[in-house]
Amino acid sequence: MSTVALRLTRLSVSETIILGKKIVAAMTAHVGRFEEPPVALAAVTADLNDLDKLQQERMGGGSKANTVLRNQKLADVRGELSLLASYVQTVSRGDESIINEAGMSVRSTGPRKYDTILPPELVLVEQTEYDDGLKLRWKRVKNARQYGIEYCAGTVTPDKWKTIAYANSGSIVVRGLTTGELASFRIFSLGAAGKSEYSMVVNRKLA
């Protein structure tokens, strides 16, 4: 059985954009096969275009704020492409020809090294200097390449969770929250083995 291999952490920003556009074009061309991607391809295209613009601004001597935005958008795009890779792996059932139809490559030799990946532990949520922000911190997971952050406002119900960001390190600041409203968070790991289970749920009201 073949396994999808994007190797996103080895790619430059420009290489990531090229690969992302290739994947979107290929999956769009084979929409009958890839009918329900976990991320709308139009949304991925929009993020790729935003990343391209931010990268061009950075190459032209953009500000520190531009670099921060570029890195955040790069993390978003990598997360979206990782989710698409997991989806294609499931749809293809390890068939290399189907993986290639999605514009993706397969591992060149041998089985994947890790069969499972653990969720983040020791998740903490803290106040920040931002009126609309909270900071999340967690213990990094061995073999995890990235982390997805899910958010639920107010009373927690299964249908209200949504993925709002991706991080490459063990912390992130979430902005745009409402003062006085209970904000709940849970985090999952992403790696060669795919997506982990969720971490414990943590919550806090923005003061």
pTM for this prediction? 0.53
Alpha carbon separation from 59 to 67, 68, 73, 84, 165 (Å, rounded): 10, 14, 15, 28, 24
Question: Does residue 184 surpass a pLDDT of 90?
Answer: yes
Residues 97 and 147 in one domain: no
SS3 (DSSP) at 139: strand
Confirm whether 77 is domain-assigned. Answer: yes
Residues 84 and 14 in one domain: yes
pLDDT for res 114: 54
Residues 94 and 13 in one domain: yes
Confirm whether 114 is domain-assigned. Answer: no
Alpha carbon distance 134, 204 (integer Å): 8
Alpha carbon separation from 82 to 44, 59, 106 (Å, rounded): 12, 26, 14
Question: Does residue 111 surpass a pLDDT of 50?
Answer: no
Confirm whether 69 is domain-assigned. Answer: yes
The string of pLDDT tens digits covering residues 55-76 is 888 777 767 788 888 899 999 9
Here the tokens at position 175 are 């902005």
Provide mean pLDDT across the span 122-135. Answer: 91
Residues 94 and 128 in one domain: no
Residues 91 and 125 in one domain: no
Confirm whether 112 is domain-assigned. Answer: no
State which amino acid sits at residue 101: E
Residues 94 and 179 in one domain: no
Residues 27 and 80 in one domain: yes
Residues 133 and 94 in one domain: no
Residues 80 and 126 in one domain: no
How much of the chain exceeds pLDDT 70, in percent? 95
Number of independent structural domains in the chain? 2
State which amino acid sits at residue 169: S
Confirm whether 171 is domain-assigned. Answer: yes
Q: What is the CA angle 114-116-122, rounded to 5?
A: 115
Question: Does residue 52 surpass a pLDDT of 80?
Answer: yes
* Alpha-helical segments (H) within 93-138: 96-101
Question: Does residue 94 surpass a pLDDT of 90?
Answer: no
Residues 81 and 161 in one domain: no
User: Domain with 199 in it: what CATH number?
Assistant: 2.60.40.10
Its domain, for residue 75, covers: 8-101
Q: Which residue, 101, 136, 155, sits at the end of a domain?
A: 101
Confirm whether 109 is domain-assigned. Answer: no
Report the interhelical angle of 13-29 vs 64-92 (nearest 10°). 40
State which amino acid sits at residue 8: L
Confirm whether 3 is domain-assigned. Answer: no
Confirm whether 1 is domain-assigned. Answer: no
User: What is the DSSP secondary structure assignment for residue 108, as one 8-state letter?
Assistant: S
How high is the mean pLDDT of the chain?
Answer: 89
Question: Does residue 113 surpass a pLDDT of 60?
Answer: no
Alpha carbon separation from 173 to 2, 78, 127, 167, 191 (Å, rounded): 37, 18, 10, 10, 22
